[in-house]
């Protein structure tokens, strides 16, 4: 079973709140999350919550409803991701991946 089918199987079994371990050619960022949300109302609610958590928006995607955020130093990334997942209108929260193509 290759890494993609293994991840697909894991994602189907644990849902969007799980994550697949890094393959040989990728690493996860220790401080950046990618957040997908429903609409402008959800974005407003999300921004308010992120300010309270002292997260910094580092990129807003314009082709779809998503943003990349940096969590504060010393914060546990999975704990912050779990808090963000509970915000109404948030669809998914994933760790940013760094893929190595060599």
Residue with tokens 């189907």: 12
Q: Is the pLDDT of residue 4 over 90?
A: no
Q: Answer whether 0.85 is exceeded by the pTM.
A: no
Q: 18-47 burial, b for 16+ CB within 10 Å, e for fewer? A: ebbeeeeeeeeeebbbbbbbeeeebbebbe
Say if CB 18 and CB 30 are below 8 A apart.
Answer: no
Predicted confidence band of residue 30 (pLDDT cuts 50, 70, 90): confident
pLDDT tens per residue across span 51-80 = 999 999 999 999 999 999 999 999 999 999
Token readout for 50 is 């992120």
Quickly name the fold that domain 3-99 has: Alpha-Beta Plaits (3.30.70)
Q: What are phi and psi of 46, to 5 degrees?
A: -65, -45
Q: What is the pLDDT of residue 86?
A: 96
């Amino acid at each position: 079973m290759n890494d993609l089918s293994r991840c697909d199987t894991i994602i189907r079994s644990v849902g969007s709140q799980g994550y697949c371990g890094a393959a040989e050619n990728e690493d996860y960022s220790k401080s950046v999350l990618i957040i997908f949300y429903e609409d402008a109302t959800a974005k407003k609610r999300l921004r308010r919550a992120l300010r309270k958590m002292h997260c910094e928006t580092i990129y807003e995607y314009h082709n779809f409803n998503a943003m990349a955020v940096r969590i504060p130093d010393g914060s546990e990334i999975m704990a912050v991701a779990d808090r963000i997942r509970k915000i109404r209108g948030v669809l998914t929260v994933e760790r940013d991946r760094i893929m190595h193509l060599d």
